[in-house]
A and B are shown apart, each in its own frame.
Chain A
């Protein structure tokens, strides 16, 4: 090394590594952008997932009987949010005595069955009802003009003037 390069000798020794180690990897711009990109995509995916979970929870609410706690969680400002639900008291089982079954009466076993009974009512039994009024005749309708004869040009023959264009 010549004398002119001597003043830079110390500078070189401090700026350059003495050993031939590989260049340290850095978490560079591309890596930062990529990681943030993944995080943003995860946020959108999470948004979608949370929305579907919320809808599923709301949809399942009427089906089962345990709707109070999830509904309170999804609506945190509701008055029941965070409240502990008190257990409902259970009713004691009812003990009903067996009802005795009726036995057929022996005197009526061979009696003939009447085709008509006194419970059947006829119009003659209801003298208080007034007869229904009779309706008058309907007014006669005016006669309509006869429909036009079908044209021989084809084109579907629709009556509308707007539908048969081309």
Chain B
């Protein structure tokens, strides 16, 4: 059982890569389908003429900064989109953890499934956060160096808020690593350290609002407000409801029978 779980964890990055490639393939297949079949048919229906599908695709590529020639904005766009996506994944992982601990989703989904998702989502968030940072190296406009990205508060652009993002990333990596070191550091230490998830989330939120180019957009600012408020609500809900109804520790038999589910309950 332990071997199976360990293998599954080690496969995470492989399946993240596989899924990313599949996602890109699906998007391109969708675009190709749109270009070949859907757009001409729709335009033909609407205007009675054939649609210039290739023109649409090339216009989109041009708008996205492709091809990657000198002075392209593609890196900057990917960094912005990747940052927002990484933040949303981190929010989802954090909220998921609070859901598990507050037993809000108990009975809806299997405990093992909940726990697996709670373990996988931060890895995905970190992968996209690393992408968000690495892509900035390609953007010649600001001119980030590797040291600017690795060392917090050293970036040429809003160093304080950019440094918050670096710290959030490091803390997330440490939290993921703590999953694997739980038996070594002990459950109590691990659990205390797990509360720093809130710190990582707040750092990421501050980084997104203050350093994010798109935070001036009402849609993006609304997303930040909604995600922050939902996590705050879930945390208060957990504090108010679970504190008074804490159960005694799980029996050894139950723990042995469903270790992952028992871990999920013990997280909180």
Task: Give residues 110-124 of B contacting A (CB, 8 Å).
Answer: 110-113, 116-117, 120-121, 124
B27 to chain A, nearest CB (A): 5
Q: Does B84 contact A (CB under 8 A)?
A: yes
Chain B residues whose C-beta falls within 8 Å of the C-beta of A18 in the assembled complex: 253, 257
Complex contact B142–A46 (CB within 8 A)? no
Chain A residues whose C-beta falls within 8 Å of the C-beta of B217 in the assembled complex: 53
Least CB separation from A42: chain B residue = B85
- For chain B, the bracket of interface size reads 35 or more
A45 to chain B, nearest CB (A): 7
Complex contact A51–B24 (CB within 8 A)? no
Complex contact A69–B216 (CB within 8 A)? yes
Distance, CA A46 to CA B87, complexed state (A) = 13
Task: Give residues 162-176 of B contacting A (CB, 8 Å).
Answer: none
Complex contact A27–B85 (CB within 8 A)? no
Chain B residues whose C-beta falls within 8 Å of the C-beta of A37 in the assembled complex: 19-20, 22-23, 26
Q: Which of B19, B26, B63, B80 has the most CB of A within 10 A?
A: B19
Complex contact A43–B81 (CB within 8 A)? yes
Q: Does B18 contact A (CB under 8 A)?
A: yes
A-B contact count (CB 8 A): 133
Complex contact B157–A77 (CB within 8 A)? yes
A63 to chain B, nearest CB (A): 17
Interface mask (A37-58 → B, CB under 8 Å = 1, otherwise 0) = 1111111111111111111000
Chain B residues whose C-beta falls within 8 Å of the C-beta of A55 in the assembled complex: 63
Distance, CA A77 to CA B19, complexed state (A) = 34
Q: Does B60 contact A (CB under 8 A)?
A: yes
Interface mask (B202-225 → A, CB under 8 Å = 1, otherwise 0) = 000000000001101100000000
Task: Give residues 59-90 of A contacting B (CB, 8 Å).
Answer: 69-70, 73-77, 81-82
Complex contact A73–B213 (CB within 8 A)? yes
Distance, CA A33 to CA B258, complexed state (A) = 24
Distance, CA A73 to CA B253, complexed state (A) = 58
Chain B residues whose C-beta falls within 8 Å of the C-beta of A25 in the assembled complex: 109-110, 112-113
Complex contact A46–B113 (CB within 8 A)? no
Chain B residues whose C-beta falls within 8 Å of the C-beta of A35 in the assembled complex: 19, 120-121, 124
Q: Contacts A27-B117, A32-B16, A50-B81; is A38 near B111 (CB within 8 Å)?
A: no
A141 to chain B, nearest CB (A): 50
Interface mask (B109-146 → A, CB under 8 Å = 1, otherwise 0) = 11111001100110010001001000000000111000
Distance, CA A41 to CA B24, complexed state (A) = 6
Q: Contacts A33-B22, A37-B19, A55-B63; is A26 near B85 (CB within 8 Å)?
A: no
Chain A residues whose C-beta falls within 8 Å of the C-beta of B77 in the assembled complex: 47, 50-51, 54
Distance, CA A49 to CA B84, complexed state (A) = 12
Q: Contacts A29-B11, A39-B23; is A47 near B158 (CB within 8 Å)?
A: no
**Of A38, A51, A82, which is within 8 A of B73 by CB?**
A51
Chain B residues whose C-beta falls within 8 Å of the C-beta of A48 in the assembled complex: 60, 63-64
Distance, CA A36 to CA B124, complexed state (A) = 7
Distance, CA A39 to CA B78, complexed state (A) = 13
Chain A residues whose C-beta falls within 8 Å of the C-beta of B27 in the assembled complex: 40-41, 44-45
Complex contact B19–A27 (CB within 8 A)? no
Q: Which of A25, A29, A40 has the most CB of B within 10 A?
A: A40
B80 to chain A, nearest CB (A): 5
Closest 5 CB pairs of A and B: A36-B19, A40-B23, A46-B81, A27-B116, A24-B112
* Besides A24-B258, A47-B81, 15 other A-B contacts (C-beta < 8 A): A24-B110, A26-B8, A27-B113, A27-B116, A29-B11, A32-B16, A36-B18, A37-B23, A39-B23, A39-B85, A43-B128, A44-B23, A46-B82, A51-B73, A76-B142
Please name 7 pairs of A and B residues whose Cβ atoms are closer than 8 Å in the assembled complex, sorted by A.
A14-B256, A36-B18, A44-B24, A50-B80, A55-B63, A74-B213, A77-B156
